[in-house]
C-alpha cells in the first residue's frame, strides 16, 4: 500500500491522525481545569456546604450527560460518513441532515430533562443522603444549571459533528473560549453580583448557550441550510439515528453500572478504601486524556472512509490509530512506572493514603497497555456507526469480563475490584478487535447483517 494515503491534505496519514488528535487532547485537558476554578471560587465562600452542594448538583448532571454521550458518539460517525469539503448537493444535504437531526434531538432531550427536573433532583438527593443544608445548596445549584440542558445536549451533537468533519482545531478553540467565558461570568456573578452558588451555575448556563451559538456559527460554512426538509424530523427519517442512539445508550449504561459498582463496593469496604479508589481513578482519567483524543481522530477518519466505501484506506487508518494508541500507552506506562508515587503525592498529603494507593501502582502501570485497545476500537466502531457491536461487546464484557471475574476473586477485596476492571478493559478490546477482524476478513459476509459498509446501526 502506498505510504502517502491522504485524507483531505498533503500530510502523510500517519501524522495527519496525530494532528487531528492533538487539539482534542488539549480540549480534554481544559475541562478539569475549569472544574478547578469553580472549586476555588466556591471554596472561598463563607461555608463549606456551597461547595459540597454544587459538587452533588454537578455529579447528578454529569451522570445524565455522560449517559447521553451516545448523542456525540453517534453524530461523529454519521457526520464523517456524510463526507466533507465537497460541493456536491447530495453531500451537502447529508451533512446538513445529520447536523439538523442531531441538534434537534439534543434540544428536545434537554427540554425533557427540564420538565423532569424535580424527580431527577430528588433521586440524586436520595442517593447522596445529604443533610438539609446541603440539600438546599444542591437544589439552588441544580435549579439554575438544569436550564442549560438543551444547550449542553445540543452541543454534544455539534461537537461530534465537527469532529466527524475533522474540525478538531475548531473544537479546541471553541472549548477554550467557552471555558474562559465560564470563568469570567463565575467571578462576576459570585464576587460582584453576590449570587453565591447560583452564580456559578448561571455562569455555566451562559457558557453552554455561548458554545451553542459559536458552534452553530462554526458550522455555517460547512452546511447548506436552504436544503432543509421538514421530513428529516419525522419518525421514519429519525429511526436510524434513534436506533443507533439506543444501542450506544445501553452500551453506556453497562459501562456506568460497572464503574458505579467499583465506587459503591469500594465505599462499603471503608473510607480508606473509598479514598484510595478516588485517587486511583485519577490514573484512569489521565489515560483518557490522550487515548480519547486518538480514538476521536480515528472515528473521523474511519467514518470518512466508510462513507467513501474505501476499505483499503479504512484499514490503513485503523493500523495508524493502533500505532499511535500503542505509543501513547507505552508512554503512560513509563510515566506511571517512574513517577506514579509522585503523582499520588500530588493528589494527597496523607501518608497512610499515599502508602495504600502506592500498593496498587503495579496495576496502574499495566492499565494503559490493557486499556488502549478498547479506547481505539471504540473509536473504530463509532466511525463505522456499528452501535449493536458496541452495545453487545460492552454487555458481554461487563457480565463475563468484570462481574464473573469479580465473583471468582472477590476474596481479594479491593485488589480484586481493580483486577476485575483490568479484565473488563481487556475483554472490551479483545471482543471489539475480533469483531473488527471478522468484518474486514469477510467483507461480503451478509449473515447477521454485519457487512462493514451496511448503513445504520445494525
Structural domain includes residue 12: no
Q: Which of 179, 212, 233 lies at the terminal end of a domain, its last residue?
A: 233
Residues 255 and 398 in one domain: yes
- pLDDT tens series, the chain, 458 aa: 444 444 444 345 667 787 888 788 887 777 666 655 666 666 656 555 666 667 677 778 877 888 888 888 888 888 887 776 665 667 778 888 888 888 999 999 999 999 998 898 888 777 666 667 667 777 888 889 899 999 999 998 999 889 888 888 898 899 888 888 988 998 899 888 888 778 888 998 999 999 999 999 988 887 777 776 777 777 777 777 788 878 888 998 999 889 888 877 887 777 777 778 878 888 888 888 888 888 888 888 888 888 878 888 888 889 999 999 999 999 999 999 999 888 888 777 778 878 888 999 999 999 999 999 999 999 899 888 888 899 999 999 999 999 999 999 999 989 999 999 999 999 999 999 999 998 888 654 443 344 555 544 43
Structural domain includes residue 445: yes
- Rounded Cα–Cα distance for residues 149 and 390 (Å): 26
Residues 206 and 307 in one domain: no
Structural domain includes residue 401: yes
DSSP per-residue string spanning 122-175: HHHHHHHT--HHHHHHHHHHHHHHGGGHHHHHHHHHHHHHHHHTT-HHHHHHHH
Residues 202 and 294 in one domain: no
Q: Which of 212, 233, 254 lies at the terminal end of a domain, its last residue?
A: 233
Residues 392 and 336 in one domain: yes
- Rounded Cα–Cα distance for residues 128 and 291 (Å): 31
If residue 276 lies in a helix (H) or strand (E), which one and from where to where?
A: helix 271-308
Q: Are 186 and 38 in contact (CB under 8 A)?
A: yes
- Rounded Cα–Cα distance for residues 237 and 100 (Å): 12
Residues 44 and 140 in one domain: yes
Structural domain includes residue 201: yes
Residues 67 and 100 in one domain: yes
Structural domain includes residue 3: no
Residues 320 and 383 in one domain: yes
List the alpha helices (DSSP H) in 348-413: 351-358, 361-384, 387-396, 404-409
Instruction: Report CA-CA distances (Å) from 382 to 78, 108, 242, 385, 388.
Output: 9, 23, 15, 5, 11
Residues 229 and 248 in one domain: no
Residues 178 and 316 in one domain: no
Q: Which of 169, 200, 233 lies at the terminal end of a domain, its last residue?
A: 233
Residues 208 and 119 in one domain: yes
pTM to 2 decimals? 0.80
How many domains, in total, are found in the chain?
A: 2
Residues 223 and 251 in one domain: no
Structural domain includes residue 422: yes
Structural domain includes residue 158: yes
Tell me which residue range forms the domain holding 154.
Answer: 23-233
Instruction: Report CA-CA distances (Å) from 40 to 62, 134, 208.
Output: 19, 18, 20
Q: If phi over 0 gives left and psi between -120 and 50 gives alpha, with beta otherwise, what is residue 448?
A: left
Structural domain includes residue 16: no
Residues 268 and 414 in one domain: yes
Amino acid at each position: 500500500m502506498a505510504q502517502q494515503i491522504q485524507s483531505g491534505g498533503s500530510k502523510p496519514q500517519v501524522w495527519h491522525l496525530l494532528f487531528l488528535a492533538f487539539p482534542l487532547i488539549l480540549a480534554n485537558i481544559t475541562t478539569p481545569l475549569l472544574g478547578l476554578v469553580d472549586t476555588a471560587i466556591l471554596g472561598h465562600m463563607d461555608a463549606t456546604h456551597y461547595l459540597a452542594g454544587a459538587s452533588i448538583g454537578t455529579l447528578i448532571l454529569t451522570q445524565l450527560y455522560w449517559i447521553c454521550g451516545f448523542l456525540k458518539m453517534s453524530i461523529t460517525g454519521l457526520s464523517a460518513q456524510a463526507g466533507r469539503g465537497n460541493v456536491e448537493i447530495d453531500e451537502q444535504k447529508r451533512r446538513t441532515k445529520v447536523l439538523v437531526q442531531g441538534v434537534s434531538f439534543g434540544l428536545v432531550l434537554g427540554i425533557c430533562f427540564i420538565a423532569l427536573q424535580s424527580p431527577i433532583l430528588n433521586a440524586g438527593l436520595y442517593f447522596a443522603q445529604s443533610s438539609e443544608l446541603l440539600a438546599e445548596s444542591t437544589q439552588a445549584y441544580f435549579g439554575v444549571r438544569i436550564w442549560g440542558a438543551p444547550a449542553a445536549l445540543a452541543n454534544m451533537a455539534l461537537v461530534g459533528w465537527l469532529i466527524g468533519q475533522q474540525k478538531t482545531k475548531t473544537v479546541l478553540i471553541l472549548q477554550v473560549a467557552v471555558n474562559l467565558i465560564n470563568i469570567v461570568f463565575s467571578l462576576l456573578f459570585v464576587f460582584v453580583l453576590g449570587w453565591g452558588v447560583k452564580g456559578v451555575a448561571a455562569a455555566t448556563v451562559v457558557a453552554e448557550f455561548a458554545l451553542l451559538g459559536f458552534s452553530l456559527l462554526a458550522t455555517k460554512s460547512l452546511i447548506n441550510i436552504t436544503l432543509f426538509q421538514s421530513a428529516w424530523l419525522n419518525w421514519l427519517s429519525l429511526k436510524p439515528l434513534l436506533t443507533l442512539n439506543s444501542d450506544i445508550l445501553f452500551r453506556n449504561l453497562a459501562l456506568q453500572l460497572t464503574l458505579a459498582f467499583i465506587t459503591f463496593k469500594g465505599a462499603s469496604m471503608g473510607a480508606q478504601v473509598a479514598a484510595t479508589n478516588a485517587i486511583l481513578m485519577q490514573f484512569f482519567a489521565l489515560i483518557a486524556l490522550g487515548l480519547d483524543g486518538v480514538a476521536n481522530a480515528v472515528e473521523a477518519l474511519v467514518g470518512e472512509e466508510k462513507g467513501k466505501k474505501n476499505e483499503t484506506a479504512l484499514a490503513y487508518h485503523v493500523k495508524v490509530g493502533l500505532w499511535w494508541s500503542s505509543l501513547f500507552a507505552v508512554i503512560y506506562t513509563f510515566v506511571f512506572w517512574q513517577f506514579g508515587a509522585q503523582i499520588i503525592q500530588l493528589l494527597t498529603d496523607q501518608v497512610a493514603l499515599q502508602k495504600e494507593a502506592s500498593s496498587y501502582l503495579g496495576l496502574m502501570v499495566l492499565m494503559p497497555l490493557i486499556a488502549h485497545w478498547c479506547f481505539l476500537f471504540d473509536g473504530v466502531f463509532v466511525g463505522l456507526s456499528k452501535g449493536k457491536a458496541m452495545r453487545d461487546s460492552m454487555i458481554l464484557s461487563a457480565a463475563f469480563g468484570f462481574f464473573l471475574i469479580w465473583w471468582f476473586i472477590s476474596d481479594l477485596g479491593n485488589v480484586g475490584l481493580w483486577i476485575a476492571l483490568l479484565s473488563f478493559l481487556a475483554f472490551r478490546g479483545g471482543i471489539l478487535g475480533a469483531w473488527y477482524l471478522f468484518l474486514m476478513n469477510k467483507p461480503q459476509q451478509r449473515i447477521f447483517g454485519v457487512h462493514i459498509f451496511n448503513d445504520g446501526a445494525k
